Structure 1
Amino acid sequence: MTSFDFETLRVQIRDAARHAFGTLRAAHPNERFYAMALYTDDGAMTVCPSANSEEAFQRILLDGEFTDPADAAYARWGTAEWAYEAVHAERFDAPCERLSTHLLTLDEDRAFGAFRSRLHDTMVQALADLDQEGFFGAGADRQALTLFCSISDSDEAEALEDRSAEQLNPPAVFAAFKKRWDASPA
């Protein structure tokens, strides 16, 4: 197995997330974003941004596809359902190319598992860097935004979401997020 430079990857992901989320907020200045996330796939070949606002969530509910409370909770917290999934993701092309190229060099399950775990940690660190810079706001603004990382279509998604949300958010924000599947806040 060849070594992989996770520090460079963290910087690439951080800078791509800054661009994606910053451009998104600038394009929608009247929307109240309640969640911003980074997600990957089960094969650890991609990293993409996703975000949703209260206004976009209400539009999703008005479409009528998510009618029961469990479905509404999924629409609120499932990054694949968000209005701004993978919006402004072009800056993630370079880190995704690095990931997929490196993954071709891995030949054993244990090496892949360790690599995937490091990728998840790197995604969390990239968001933490931005948060420490004040990129996501302070005070009440920061309390209104939930940050987390996820894995699309994976049985391991909820564990990563919970772990990352606990690391990235103030305690009250994490406590509310931890109850996300209990009922829809629609």
Structure 2
Amino acid sequence: MQKTFVISDHHFGHKQIIDFESRPFHDVDEMTTKMIERWNAVVGKEDKVFHLGDFSFLNREKTRDIVQQLYGSKFLIMGNHDRGRTKKWWLDVGFDEVSEYPLVYGGFYFLSHEPMYMNKNMPYVNIHGHIHGQKYEGNHYINVSVELWDYTPVSFEEIKRMTIPNEEQ
């Protein structure tokens, strides 16, 4: 059965992010290897992954090499560091679909790179990245930046458990 995952802010090739976000890697090569391993440990070849932006700082060839190693079909919602390249560039390196704008998934979830304003009375959840190790208060926001999820994509089943109230309570 196909599963769906979300993740954000890998920053492949970005040496300074290791210090900026206190990532537990010695260098970008170790970071790349470990993040690919963690992705492939949970994502199957038939699964779908929404990457919510800031994927790679590397050139076309090195980015394509990473994308080809990652399991599943990959949908990129472009982040602030991705927007310097065209949708075509991202498709050419191996993403199956690319969006410059947030999307609604499952009629209930807003998928975006940056957090979106969510009124507390709205029945929606914003799944986002961009703010790395920070979290917004409340149950309207789920930050899927890699730092908060041990550099591993999060299944939508896990997101649902976090966001849909248990009707028996």
Same fold (TM over 0.5): no
**Relative contact order (alpha carbons < 8 A, sep ≥ 6): 1 or 2 greater?**
1
Select the structure that is richer in helix: 1
Select the structure that is richer in strand: 2
Pairwise TM-score range, normalised by the shorter structure: under 0.3
Larger Rg: 1
